[in-house]
């Protein structure tokens, strides 16, 4: 376990019940509720540790993004853990695993260490994938069960308690996803005097913002990284050296045409009790195919849609309740050229 004192910590203001972040000022200093990366049972997110003198070049040949990771943002402590977003691809250029990558601060004599945050259901598969490509690299790949993942989303000051984390970093995907905290502490210890957010609310927020995460949103061997808005989420470098799956991804990028994307969708009709089946066809008003529903929660979700079809009325036909109307939207955080 890394020395907690080496990382920026989150503390509780003496005269406030909101969470405060050292090194930040103004409205950035105060946030809101903490959402656990786990439910009542199994954890929703898990961590894999990659450590050793060859860890950076090893990961560089497997990930879509560049290493070393970007430095801390203006106003953040230089000793903070650095975070980036990336996908592991298969040889056909399709997504296997989406990860948030944490590069831990190095001290003299220490081996470079990275933590990979992934969907807990693929943590064993990710470790096997890494070990398969390890070959003669001087790296150690192991689970990191002692740390739990938390998300902290921006809210009005005074709505949450203080917090203490072993590792703190901004979510690298988009500002609307707030911060990532890695901590050994459990609920009441993490947010003393405050209340924890519900994991379902976190996922609703994600879907409303159009941020995919995990195997339901990004099915392994099925999802394509650029259709999944990887570039919009700062998750790919088009100038780095070779990595597995690069050829198709680079060719698609240089062609400059991505006809389908994952869009956030909102249902306006009654949703069947069992939800909408993944892969259900999304149709236009005239019955033309617009795309496929991917995943969601209640009346919000993600759908892979043709960009030219999203402005008109859309629906999904269900055997239980007939057509269910839905609307697709373009997130505010996407580049202006896509709107």
DSSP 202-241: HHHHHHHHT---STTTS-TTT--TTTTTTTTTT---SSS-
307 three-state secondary structure: helix
Q: Which residues of 204-227 are buried (b: 16+ CB within 10 A; e: fewer)?
A: bbbbbbbbbbbbbbbebeebbbbb
Find out whether 115 and 102 touch, Cβ atoms under 8 Å. Answer: yes
Helix, strand, coil tally for the chain in percent (to 5): 20, 30, 55
Find out whether 84 and 234 touch, Cβ atoms under 8 Å. Answer: yes
- Dihedral angle computed from the Cα positions of residues 13, 18, 19 and 23, in that order, rounded to the nearest 10 degrees: -60
Distances 55 to 62, 70, 121, 136 between C-alpha atoms, Å? 11, 17, 24, 12
Residue 309, CA atoms < 13 Å, CB-side half-sphere: 24
What is the per-residue pLDDT across 33-67, written as a single tens digit (0 to 9) for each? Answer: 567 764 444 478 999 999 999 999 999 999 999 98
- Predicted confidence at residue 115, as pLDDT, reads 96
**Sequence-distant (≥ 6) Cβ neighbours of residue 81 within 8 angstroms:** 7, 8, 102, 103, 104, 105, 167, 168, 169, 182
Per-residue pLDDT in tens (0 to 9) along the chain, 339 residues: 333 333 333 333 333 333 433 333 333 333 445 677 644 444 789 999 999 999 999 999 999 999 877 655 555 555 567 899 999 999 999 999 999 999 987 776 788 999 999 999 999 999 999 999 999 999 999 999 999 888 887 553 333 333 456 788 889 999 999 888 888 876 555 555 445 778 888 999 999 999 999 999 999 999 999 999 999 999 999 999 899 999 999 999 998 889 999 999 999 978 888 889 999 999 999 999 999 999 999 999 999 999 999 999 999 998 877 899 999 999 999 998 776
Which residue is it, tokens 């898990």? Answer: 46
Count, residues in the chain: 339
Q: Where are the alpha helices (DSSP H) in the chain?
A: 55-60, 123-132, 187-190, 199-209, 246-255
**Sequence-distant (≥ 6) Cβ neighbours of residue 271 within 8 angstroms:** 298, 299, 321, 324
Q: Which residues of 232-256 are buried (b: 16+ CB within 10 A; e: fewer)?
A: bbebbbeeeeebbbbebbeebeeee
Distance from the Cα of residue 215 to its chain's centroid: 11
β-pairing verdict for 322-328 and 179-183:
unpaired
- Predicted confidence at residue 161, as pLDDT, reads 35
Distance CA 80, CA 115 (A): 14
Distance CA 93, CA 244 (A): 7
124 three-state secondary structure: helix
Which domains are assigned to the chain?
1-256 (3.30.1360.120), 259-338 (2.40.30)
**Sequence-distant (≥ 6) Cβ neighbours of residue 65 within 8 angstroms:** 84, 85, 86, 101, 234, 235, 236, 237, 240
């Amino acid at each position: 376990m890394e020395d907690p004192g080496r990382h920026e910590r989150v503390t509780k203001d003496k005269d406030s019940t909101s969470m405060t972040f050292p090194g930040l000022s103004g409205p950035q200093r105060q946030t809101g509720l903490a959402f656990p990366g786990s439910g009542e049972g199994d954890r929703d997110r898990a961590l894999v540790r990659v450590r050793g003198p060859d860890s950076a070049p090893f990961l560089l040949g497997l990930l879509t993004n560049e290493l070393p990771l970007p430095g801390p943002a203006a106003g953040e402590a230089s000793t903070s853990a650095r975070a980036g977003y990336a996908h592991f691809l298969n040889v056909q250029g399709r997504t296997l695993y989406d990860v948030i990558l944490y590069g831990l601060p190095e001290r003299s004599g220490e081996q470079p260490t990275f933590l990979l945050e992934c969907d807990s259901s693929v943590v064993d598969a990710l470790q096997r994938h890494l070990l398969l490509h390890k070959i003669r690299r001087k790296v150690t790949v192991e689970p990191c069960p002692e740390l739990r993942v938390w998300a902290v989303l921006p809210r009005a000051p005074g709505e949450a308690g203080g917090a203490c984390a072993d590792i703190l970093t901004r979510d690298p995907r988009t500002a609307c996803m707030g911060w990532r905290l890695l901590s050994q502490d459990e609920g009441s210890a993490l947010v003393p005097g405050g209340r924890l957010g519900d994991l379902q609310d976190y996922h609703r927020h994600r879907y409303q913002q159009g941020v995919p995460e995990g195997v339901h949103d990004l099915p392994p061997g099925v999802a394509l990284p650029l259709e999944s808005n990887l570039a919009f989420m700062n998750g790919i470098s088009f100038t780095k050296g070779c990595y597995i799956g690069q050829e198709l991804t680079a060719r698609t990028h240089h062609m400059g045409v991505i006809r389908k994307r994952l869009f956030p969708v909102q249902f306006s009709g009654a949703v069947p009790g069992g939800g909408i089946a993944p892969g259900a066809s999304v149709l236009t008003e005239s019955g033309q195919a617009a795309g496929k529903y991917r995943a969601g929660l209640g009346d919000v979700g993600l759908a892979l849609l043709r960009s030219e079809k999203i402005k008109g009325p859309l629906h999904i036909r269900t055997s239980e309740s007939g057509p269910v109307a839905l609307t697709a939207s373009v997130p505010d955080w996407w580049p202006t050229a896509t709107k």
